[in-house]
Chain A
Amino acid sequence: MIALQLLINSLIAGAIYSLVASGFSLIYSVCKFVHFAHGAAVAFSAYFLYFLFSKLNLSFGFSVILTIIFASLLGYGMDFFIYKQFRKRKASSATLLIASFALLIFFESLILILFGADVKTIGFIKIAKGLEFFGAIITPLQLFIIFTAFVLFGFLFFFMKKTKIGKAMRAVADNKEMAEVVGISSERIYSLAFVVGSAIAGVAGILVGLEQNLEPMMGTNLMIKGFTGAIIGGIGSVPGAILGSFLLGFAENFGIWFLPSGYKDAIAFIILFIFLLFRPQGILGIKKVMNEV
């Protein structure tokens, strides 16, 4: 019973981390730089949903759709107005990394100005007593989060493998020059990666907002865990990032069953160090290394 409950807790944590990590990793694999402002996209989406649903009193479904569209536009805007301008000036990925930090801080401050520092709740789902499965407890919302995450990853997989745009993205991710030779515009693919990645951030923002309430700095915290998950799984690989995030969720929750709960973050970062030291390419990074060899 306890093992099952731990499993469920790990799945919930893993689903949240992986929702953040997958979009982040998609953008990284295509554009080859660390887009920390992805966390801001998650946070801003959550606040946008709060604004539409709790302030303007729009219907929940409509608010969700608008929020996802908004998240895509936000991602596109960040790429178009900031990153693209840097790329034009042949900026290194370190410059882009710093720019992404600036964007993260900018958007968090913007949230602070627009919505204030106090905690906001999206009152869509009232508190529910958990459902019981063989003695383990899970709330309907948490079940929904796990379910949505898996469905979304299914779609993402299909999109990357079967659609033309997805294939083009993988081509650019694999070898930008070669892709351009066969007529794929890398700039267009970059924008698309931001649109798709940020849409996932929008979904993450909605689900996290429902589950954990809204705080202006929520993006940073989510990004730290998402980033750790992505590194563990192999940062250039979207399936790897998802796998890594779940692994992180499992390690944290099973870890604090044996250790005091204060060690939760320590467990996460020790795993991060171990991977950076002994397997910097991550769990699913192996294929790529083999190809390069």
Chain B
Amino acid sequence: MRVEKNNQEKSMNKTTKIISLLVCIGILITGIWLGTVKKSNKEERETIKIGAIFPLTGNAAKKGEYESQGALMAVEEINSQGGINGRKIELLIEDSGTDPKKGISAFRKLVEMDKVCCLIGALSSVGMPLKGLIEKNKIPTIWVSGHPDFLTGTKYIFRNLPTSAQFVEALSNFIYYQLKLSKIGILYMNDDYGVSLKNEFKKIFPGTILFEERYDKDGKDFRTQLIKIKEKNPQVIFIGGYGTATGILIKQLREMKVTAQLCGPIGIAQADTKKTAGSAIKGVIYPEFIDDSKEEVKKFKEKYKAKYKQEPGVDSFLGYNSVKLLAYGIEKSDLNSELIVETLSNLKNFKSATGMLNIKNKEVQYEITIKKIE
């Protein structure tokens, strides 16, 4: 028994020795390999790395898909034209899955491991908790976010999405100065979005506001409410809402022979609103920042369809523009964060997939056109 045990101990000692030897050799080889890789990395340092945080899974996955397809298209275009000052761009896309926590780990990976110079991304919920990190690391960032407080207290972040205030302003100007109509009534949906639209419209419209009436988000019968507003005889009615209830509201307005010009936010042109309103939706005007009649937009759509076999969404345009804007900033400022921010902050008449862009107060200003539903 004793002898056996000794033997066992001996053999164990032997294996331990062999293992430690192997580990040593392993470490040595890895070290040498890493050294060479680093060297070759140095040779490839020519590429400029841009990080992207998009929701590729979860309930906003389609948005993320559009964003990344648009962004990749921009990268391909820039690289095929020789890149930025002779250096190619590399887009590193990370999935946030609409989860702020995953967004933070994506940020850490992109900034600390991959050492990206700039960042693009989408969703306010993911972007809000990243604000501090972006500022601390001084990463010029272009984000697709509608949150009103997204830009407060930041220096390196730009917003790449027209806010509802911009839309409302365009609409209000069109009604007051182009159509020369000044007596308006407001019908707004009783949710967060509807209330904020109403407040913005009230703040900006120069004419007289005859009434402000809430309507129920799940309502189906607005007739009695509509008699009240018909009495006041408005020239224009601003409908701050979207979805099926808004469709029914428009239908019943026309059934009740309310002849006022109807207008609303971009959501009023949604498929479900159109469907429920039927032919009553005809003639409703709304603001839009992707104008199909523009050459650039037509071209983008064609190219996108040929590449991805699907129609581009709004987010495809935004993703594309984000990369293009950053590329311009990098080109003019040669990877210096402060300079990139400065260049972009004063950007004027930048040619993009949606037409001319300006940047004012760190917000990308889109040309907003007023469209009529036919």
Contacts and interface: CB of A to CB of B under 8 A. Distances in A.
A5 B258 CA distance: 14
A264 B220 CA distance: 12
A12 B223 contact: yes
B278 A126 contact: yes
Interface string A254-293: 0011001110100000000000000000000000000000
A119 interface: yes
A112 to B, nearest CB: 15
B248 interface: yes
A163 interface: no
Contacts of B222: 261
- The residue in A119, A132, A139, A264 that gathers the most chain B C-beta atoms within 10 A of its C-beta is A119
B272 interface: yes
A129 B228 contact: no
B251 A127 contact: yes
B272 A119 contact: yes
B190 interface: yes
B214 interface: yes
Given A261-B215, A261-B216, A119 B227 contact: no
Interface in A183-241: 212-213, 215, 221
A261 B224 contact: yes
A127 to B, nearest CB: 5
Contacts of A128: 255
Given A257-B224, A260-B214, A261-B224, A129 B278 contact: no
B28 to A, nearest CB: 61
B276 interface: yes
Interface string B208-247: 0000011110111111110110010000000000001001
A236 to B, nearest CB: 28
B202 interface: no
A2 interface: yes
B279 interface: yes
26 contacts: A5-B227, A6-B224, A9-B223, A9-B227, A12-B223, A119-B244, A119-B272, A121-B275, A121-B276, A121-B278, A127-B251, A127-B278, A130-B255, A130-B256, A132-B257, A139-B255, A212-B248, A213-B247, A213-B248, A253-B224, A257-B228, A261-B214, A261-B222, A261-B224, A261-B228, A262-B214
Interface of B: 190, 213-216, 218-225, 227-228, 231, 244, 247-248, 251, 254-257, 271-272, 275-276, 278-280
List 9 tightest A-B contacts by C-beta distance, closest first.
Answer: A261-B225, A9-B223, A253-B224, A127-B278, A119-B244, A212-B220, A127-B279, A9-B224, A130-B255
